[in-house]
Amino acid sequence: MGSASNPLVTSSVVDDSPLPSNLTQDDLKKLAAYKAVEYVKSGMVVGLGTGSTAKHAVARISELLRQGKLRDIIGIPTSTTTHEQAVSLGIPLSDLDSHPVVDLSIDGADEVDPALNLVKGRGGSLLREKMVEGASKKFVVIVDESKLVKHIGGSGLAVPVEVVPFCCNFTRGKLEELFREAGCKAKLRVMSGGEAAAVTDNGNYVVDLYLERDMGDLEAASEKILRLPGVVEHGMFLGIATTLIVAGKSGVTVKDRFG
């Protein structure tokens, strides 16, 4: 089983009331997001995540600001999409240059393993997300139960790697070679409905790694990826999450990571 560390993860059910059977996946995402925003206090610098779950947290923060229940919040967006959403909702924004320490970040994840290691970046914002969330005192991850996996890559969906455009196919091939024993297929991400490469907010490309088997030690895997010239960053967030909030049909569960 792949591992990056051996943290103590404690779990508590904060609401085990039966939920309506007709709740959609988006409803569950909203439940998790609203629970996470309870961690936000007035005066905080807050990292604003990106994606279909995080957008609910951003909207909820804006709502509480309008109601006067939160004050003096400064948001640090993790993508141009989140920046645009926050501006439209009137959330005051800044960046890591002005606020190098973030009190709390809230974001979704594409996969979460039992040690609270994550896969993020299937939306293409992994570099900025990792910069902001890595600078955070507390990082609350919000997911619905479909994102829980036994090991990183276990969903069969992509583990993304951001790469520079120069000779990107060369880099793609090197990445595939690294994890050949795990049955890796590395594919350059293309724009929906076309053949042109998808471009990140930083002007880079993304290579998606599809794994048939567990890649093993995650810290070692991370180091191997980052040593490759042409690689900017990968979408494994190892040992960064401090709290996980999972919304499922049976209720909302909070897991805290120590160590």
* Helix (H), strand (E) counts: the chain: 6, 14
Token pair listed for 18: 């039966």
What does the mean pLDDT of the chain come to?
A: 93
What own/partner pairs with CB < 8 Å and gap ≥ 24 does 183-186 have? 183/211, 183/212, 183/213, 184/209, 184/210, 184/211, 184/212, 184/215, 185/209, 185/210, 186/210
The whole-number pLDDT of residue 193 equals: 80
CA distance 16 to 108: 21
**Which of 3-7, 33-37, 135-139, 251-255 comes out lowest in average pLDDT?**
3-7
Q: Do 25-147+239-248 and 159-233 show the same overall fold? A: no
Question: Structure pTM?
Answer: 0.92
Per-residue model confidence (pLDDT) at position 258: 77
pLDDT of res. 1: 47
Residue 226 has pLDDT above 60, yes or no: yes
Q: What's CA 86's distance to the chain center, in Å?
A: 18
b/e per residue, 3-19, with b = 16+ CB within 10 A? bbeebeeeeeeeeeeeb
Which pair of structure tokens corresponds to residue 132?
């902001």
List of residues 6+ apart from 21 with CB closer than 8 A: 249
Per-residue pLDDT tens digits for 228-259: 999 999 999 999 999 999 998 888 999 998 75
Using alpha carbons only, give the angle 169, 132, 30 rounded to the nearest 5 degrees: 95
Task: Identify the CA nearest to 120 among candidates 96, 141, 102.
Answer: 141
As assigned by CATH, the class of the 25-147+239-248 domain is: alpha beta
| CA 80 centroid distance within chain | 15
Active site residue 223: no
From 38, 63, 84, 129, active-site residue: 129
The amino acid that residue 123 corresponds to is: G
Residue identified by tokens 């990826």 is: 225
> Residue 199 pLDDT more than 90?
yes
* CATH numeric code, 159-233: 3.30.70.260
- Dist CA 68 CA 169 (whole Å): 51
Q: Report, as an integer, the average pLDDT of 194-219.
A: 95
What percentage of the chain reaches a pLDDT higher than 70? 92
Which of 13-27, 98-112, 186-200: highest mean pLDDT? 98-112
CA distance 182 to 200: 27
Mean pLDDT of 142-168: 96
Residue 2, pLDDT > 60, answer: no
In this predicted model, what pLDDT tens digit does every residue of 25-82 receive, in sequence order? 899 999 999 999 999 999 999 999 999 999 999 999 999 999 999 999 999 999 999 9
What residue segments make up the domains of the chain, in order of their start? Answer: 25-147+239-248, 159-233
